[in-house]
Chains A and B, each alone.
Chain A
Amino acid sequence: MPIIYRYIHVPRKDGTLRHAPFIPVIVRNKFEQVMKVVGLVDSGADTTVVPRDLADLLGMKENAASTETGGIGGKVKVKRSRLRFMLEGNRERYSLDVPALILQDNDNDVPLLLGRHGFFEHFHITFKQDEQKVVLKRINPKEIY
């Protein structure tokens, strides 16, 4: 069964709304508490990106060496890690363990970005922009990262 989420409406300062495919993922935090984090399904991102303060809350372990990654927003320092999360539908749950980059600068105005590696291989993901919905249908991956 596919999991379907409505886009969320993120308000801009000018009063208009930006519609974006954010979805909730289930994670365990450093207090051993299960919680949901809302992340952007980012088909333009190779790898999942985790804000520094969220990585701290989740108790994520990271590689000692930092590296740089870049996009339209410019270059930022990151450390490599992995993020475990679950997706929950009405009748099913899927566990994923994906490579992740932890932002080292806490001042970035970035939410959790759910990139392709380790995630998109497991689902057919359809962005229904006209309906403002994102559909995730589980598949058998051909390659695991």
Chain B
Amino acid sequence: MAAQDVFPKGMDLSAYVGEWIVICRDKIVAHDKSLAKLEEEIKQCRPAPTIAKLPKKDTLIF
């Protein structure tokens, strides 16, 4: 069974480390450290957007 890609193939995330990104129709349409500042882009995206936080740190254990 084929594996699914979480992000569109070839998407370069390197500029967004430490930030939230909004992906709409396979493109990053907005990014910011504050997710609240991205609400308008999230609302505008049709169909459903994908959002992700790209953490800086290597340790994420709780």
B54 contact set on A, CB distance < 8 A: 10-11, 111
User: With A4-B3, A13-B56 given, is the CB distance from A57 to B48 under 8 Å?
Assistant: no
Give the complex CA separation of A8 and B1 in angstroms: 18
B interface residues, how many (CB within 8 angstroms): 34
Question: Which secondary structure dominates where chain B touches chain A?
Answer: loop
Interchain pairs with CB closer than 8 A, number: 127
Which bucket holds chain A's interface residue count? 35 or more
The residue from A11, A40, A46, A90 contacting B14, defined by CB atoms under 8 A apart: A11
- The interface of chain A, by Cβ under 8 A from chain B, is 1-6, 8-13, 15, 18, 22-24, 26, 29, 31, 33-38, 40, 42, 44-47, 49, 51, 53-54, 56-57, 69-73, 76, 89-90, 101, 106, 109-113, 115, 133
